[in-house]
Structure 1
Amino acid sequence: MSEVTNSLNLVDHIVTDYSTHVIVASIILSCLGQIAFRKLIGPERLTACHEVGGYYFSVVGTFYAVLVGLIIFDAQARFDDAKSDVESESSALFMIHLHAARLPQPQGAEIQSLIKTYANRVIETEWETMKRGHRDDVARGILIDVSKKLDAIEPRTQGQETVYDKVQDELTMAWTMRRQRITLVEYHLPDLEWEVLLIGGLVTVVFSYFFVLESLWMQAAMTALMSLVIAFNIYVVVELSNPYLGRVVVSKKPFQVITTQITRETY
């Protein structure tokens, strides 16, 4: 199973990095396959398959369209979750920095400094690491230090105790959103969905080979257009399934915004 996972992840990176080449290659191969299949079987024998083959092709095409729609919906949901997690995490960090000013000193100032360091680390280092499907242990260590600093604080007044509870809640939120962000980085769509998507697309294209038009080039053009639509749908899934790799990615702007606000102290 691990070999299958690695192979599918490799497909993910290849399609993302060389999307245009992969799409063009798939169209060319589909057309060449259609031409070769027609010459191998013969137009007369293929014509005899039209009536029954039409029903089969309709069923296969409908099932594949539904499956692709569900997979794209799932990928879009994951992408939206990733975007929401980043916004929630950055918001929690800002609130921690804001409330830490009212905690006992110098611990409060130390927490503020660590929050700023953590946000900068995520922007400058972890974001690039996430593109490779990994987390940054240094960033995680900084957030652990924040937790340790907060645990060591003993509020002296009722006001500080109230602020302390708020910071604890926001830190818990930051940890939760970080875990969800890293989970989406390290995990992709299930292998079964990728297999259904790729094999289903191949079967759909091959099914079109059982039909024949008088003009070979006209049929090749139709095959090319169908392959283009299928390839684009697969490309959409690839782009959305990895929220931090490709052309359509989750922005790190929420982290950049809070670091700017923290630096300028504009609350």
Structure 2
Amino acid sequence: MSEWLALALAMAGACLVVVAVVLLRNRRVADDEDTSETPDVIEYITMMIGVVYAIVLGLAIAGVWESRSAAQDDVQREAQALHEVSARAEVFPAEYRAVVDKDVDAYVSFVVNTEWHYMQTEGEISPEGTDLLAKLRADVAARAPQNDIEAQAYQAMMDKIASADEARNSRGGNVGPTMPGVVWFGLGIGAVITIGMLFALQIRRSPRELVLAGTFSALFGFLLFLIWDFDDPFGRGMSVTTEPFLNLFPFLGG
């Protein structure tokens, strides 16, 4: 099922449930029920519940968006660090430079073509990717610098590999859902309570009231779906992409 279809079903489902409940309730309402006005205290409580839940939704959206942005930044940092390793190797002899470039190309190719799918299916980074990065570190460290220029480039390369390793570990920590289950429980219960308070306002079956109630519930369905989609930075529709690797290593796109 596509993400857009899931979103449409979530919004339509929330809207239909509320409209159906309103219609069923009005079929069972007593003929002498007074619906001319709603007590002020009910309107006040409904308003306060809506405000509190809106704040909770806003914090949840900000939290998952921040996690997704941090994950994308980690990917950018990892790709940039590996690109710098290849660039710094230019001052070394061709044989050594070829080994470094081969290790870098093997690692980024594995990340883009294999590990990305592995993260989505297994929920963790691949041990093989860790081994490839360790091989790059070992091959870079295998040759002692022969002059001052090489010494400066060597230290910079080791620092960039350490930065790539740190970004990789951070990427692994962001794989999978980031929102605790208790937060999802609160969001679900809050949505039920907030939408349920609509019925305390004595909504009738007029087209205007049904449209407003349906739109209100559909909005909640959209926001909850948005949080769910952002909750897994690497596994869902609006996930973190491999674009930084593709931009810095053009051969991957070929």
TM range (shorter): 0.7 to 0.9
Q: Which residue in 2 is equivalent to 1:238?
A: 228
* Equivalent of 2:111 in 108, 111, 122: 122
Give the one of 118, 137, 142 matched to 1:152. Answer: 142
SS in 1 for 2:210: helix
Q: Could you tell me whether the CA contact under 8 Å between 2:10 and 2:225 is conserved in 1?
A: no
2:212 maps to what in 1? 222
What is the alpha-carbon distance in structure 2 between the residues aligned to residue 28 and residue 263 of structure 1?
45
Shift of residue 198, structure 1, vs aligned partner: 1.7
Give 1:181 deviation, angstroms.
1.5
**Gaps spanning 5+ residues in structure 1: where?**
1-12
Aligned residue type for 1:243: P
Shift of residue 69, structure 1, vs aligned partner: 0.8
Map residues 149-228 of structure 1 onto 2, 5 A cutoff.
149-228=139-218
- The answer (yes or no) to whether the contact 1:26–1:227 under 8 Å persists in 2 is yes
Aligned counterpart, 1:257: 247
Rounded to whole Å, the distance in 1 between the matches of 2:29 and 2:118 is 51
Number of residue pairs the alignment of both structures matches: 252
2:118, 2:124 within 8 Å by CA — same for their partners in 1? yes
Q: Which residue identity is paired with 1:166?
A: A
Partner of 2:51: 62
Distance 1:42 1:110 in 2: 84
The one of 86, 92, 97 aligned to 2:81: 92
Cα RMSD (Å) of the superposition?
2.8
> Displacement of 1:45 after TM fit?
7.0
Q: Secondary structure at the match of 2:179?
A: coil
Give the secondary-structure state (helix, strand or coil) at the position aligned to 1:134: coil
Output the CA distance in 2 between the equivalents of 1:113 and 1:145.
11
Alignment gaps of 5+ in structure 2: none
Residue 201 (structure 1) shift:
1.1
* More displaced stretch, 136-145 vs 69-78: 136-145
Contact 2:38–2:202 under 8 Å retained in 1:
no
1:63 Cα deviation after fit: 0.1
The AA in structure 1 aligned to 2:41 is V
How far 1:83 moved relative to its partner? 1.7
CA distance in 1, matches of 2:168, 2:30: 59
- The Cα of 1:32 is off from its aligned counterpart by 1.8
- Give 2:9's aligned amino acid: H
Deviation of residue 38 (structure 1)?
4.5
Post-superposition offset of 1:223: 1.5
Q: Structure 1 residue 114: deviation in Å?
A: 1.0
The answer as to whether partners of 2:177 and 2:233 remain within 8 angstroms in 1 is no
| Conserved 8 A contact 1:208-1:223 | yes
Q: Secondary structure at the match of 1:210?
A: helix
Whether 2:101 is the aligned partner of 1:112: answer yes
What residue identity is the alignment partner of 1:54? E
CA 1:111–1:17: 2 relative to 1, 3 Å: farther
1:141 counterpart = 2:131: yes
Q: Against the structure 1 CA distance between its residues 42 and 114, is the aligned structure 2 distance closer, same or farther, given a 3 Å change threshold?
A: farther
